[in-house]
Amino acid sequence: MSEPEPPGTPAVPSPEATDASVPAEAEIAKGPPPGSPPSRRAAILRTSLVVGVLVVVFGVILPNYIDYEDMIAAFQGLSAQQILLLAFLGVVAWVVTGAIFSALIPGLSLLRGTEAWLILAGIGASIPFGPWNMGVLWVVIRGWGRPAQAASAGVALYGIFDQLSRLALGAIAPVFLIIAEGAGTDITIENAAFWTVGGLALLIFVLAVSVLILIVRSEKLARRIGELSQRVVDWLLRRIGREETPDVTGSIARFRVTLGDTVRQRGLVAFLVSMVSKLAWCVLLTGALRAVGVPEDVLPTAEIFAVFAAVFIITIIPLSPGGAGVPEVLYITFFTALAGDAYSAQISAAVMLYRVFQWFLPIPLAWLLLWLARRGKPLLPTAGELRGRELAATGTGAA
C-alpha cells in the first residue's frame, strides 16, 4: 500500500478539479481537505480497533450464547445448491445497493454503481472513522469519467437516502406484523413495542423528508431552517462547554445550491431504489435462515423483517468502528429470543452467512477494485486529488 501524501506536500489538482478563478496554490496552502486519508499509523490503529471489537464479540461475548461446533455443523449441512442460491442473492443485494449511485449519478452504469458501493463499504469497514472513504470514492468516480459536481452529489446523497430508507423500514415493519397476524401467522413479537418504534421512525422520517423538500424547493425557507438549526446547534454546544460552533446556516445553503437539483430530479428514484436494496438484503437474510434449517413456523418472515428493520434503525448511530460485531450480536440475540435456544446455532450460522456478503467480502473486494481503478497511481488518492472534491462541493470545481 502506498504511503499517503504528507499534509504539507505541495500537490496541484488536475485541471478538471479546479476553476480558473481559484488559485491552485492558495487552495493547497490551506492544507489537506477534511476527507484526506489517515496517516499509516492512524490507519493501522483504526484497523486494530475493528479487529479488537471482533475479538471481543466472537471470542468473549458470543461463546456464552452459542456453540461454535454446532454452528459449524449447520454450515456443513448446506448443499451446493443452497450455497449458490445465497451467493446469487448476495450479488443481487450488491447490485441493487450500488444502483443507488447509478440513480444519483447520470451515466453511471450498474456495474460501476456496484463497484462504488463495494469500495465505499469495504474501505469504511476496514479503516473506519471519518468521511475520507467518501473522498476516495469521489476520486474513483471521477476517474470513471463522471463530472465533478455529479460525483459529489452522488457520494453525498447516497448516505442521506440510505438513512431515510432505514427509517422507512421501521415505519413499515409493524404493518407487516399486523398483516401476517391477520393471515393467521403466530406472531410472538410484542406489537405495542414495535408500533412505538415504528411510530417514532415514521415521525422522524416525515420530519426529515419535509425538511429536505423545503430546503430544495425554497431559498427563503432554506435560510429560515438554517437560522433555526444554527440557534439550536449553538445552544446545545454551548451547554456542553464548546465555544466554537459549525456554520450550519452556510452548510444548508451550500447543500441547496450544490445538491438541490439532484434531489429534485433524482431524489424520488434514489429513495425507491434504496428501499428495494434494503428488501434485497432482507431476502438474503431470510434465505440464509431457511437454508440452515430455521422454519417458517418457528421464525415467520414477518418477524425476520421486523428484526431486520429494528437492527437497521439501531445501527443508524455507529455503535462500533466500521460496523464490526454489533449487528451480529443484535441479530443473534433478537432471533434467538423469538425462536428459542434450540435454534441458536442455526441462527448464528445464518447471520454469519448474511454478514459475509454485507460486511466481510466487500473489504477485500474494495481494495482490489481500488487497486484496479488506481493502476499507475498511488493506491490512496493524494491530498491534491481530494482537494478537487472540496472545490466541486462548493461549486468552484468544473463540471
Q: Is 71 exposed, middle or buried (0-12, 13-18, 19+ CB in 10 A)?
A: buried
pLDDT-flagged residues of the chain (< 70): 1-37, 129-130, 190-194, 322, 388-399
Q: Which of 304, 287, 289 is nearest to 180 (CA)?
A: 304
* 48 located within any domain: yes
Task: Reduce the secondary structure of 263-317 to three states and give it as a string.
Answer: HHHHHHHHHHHHHHHHHHHHHHHHHHHHHCCCCCCCCCHHHHHHHHHHHHHHCCC
Residue type, 117: W
Total structural domains in the chain? 1
- The answer to whether 151 touches 105, Cβ cutoff 8 Å, is yes
* Angle separating helix axes 132-143 and 148-182, nearest 10 degrees: 110
Query: What pLDDT is recorded for position 130?
Result: 66
- Spatial distance between the Cα atoms of 304 and 291, rounded to a whole number of angstroms: 14
Query: What pLDDT is recorded for position 51?
Result: 84
Query: What pLDDT is recorded for position 31?
Result: 37
279-297 tens-digit pLDDT: 999 999 999 999 999 999 9
Residue in the structure block whose three cell numbers are 452548510: 251
* 377 located within any domain: yes
Residues of the domain holding 144:
33-54+66-393
Report percent pLDDT > 90 for the chain: 48
* 398 located within any domain: no
40-92 tens-digit pLDDT: 777 778 888 888 888 888 888 888 878 888 899 999 999 999 999 999 999 99
- Spatial distance between the Cα atoms of 227 and 335, rounded to a whole number of angstroms: 44
Model pTM? 0.83
* 113 located within any domain: yes
* 244 located within any domain: yes
Query: What pLDDT is recorded for position 393?
Result: 62
* 160 located within any domain: yes
* 102 located within any domain: yes
Query: What pLDDT is recorded for position 2?
Result: 41
* 20 located within any domain: no
Query: What pLDDT is recorded for position 389?
Result: 66
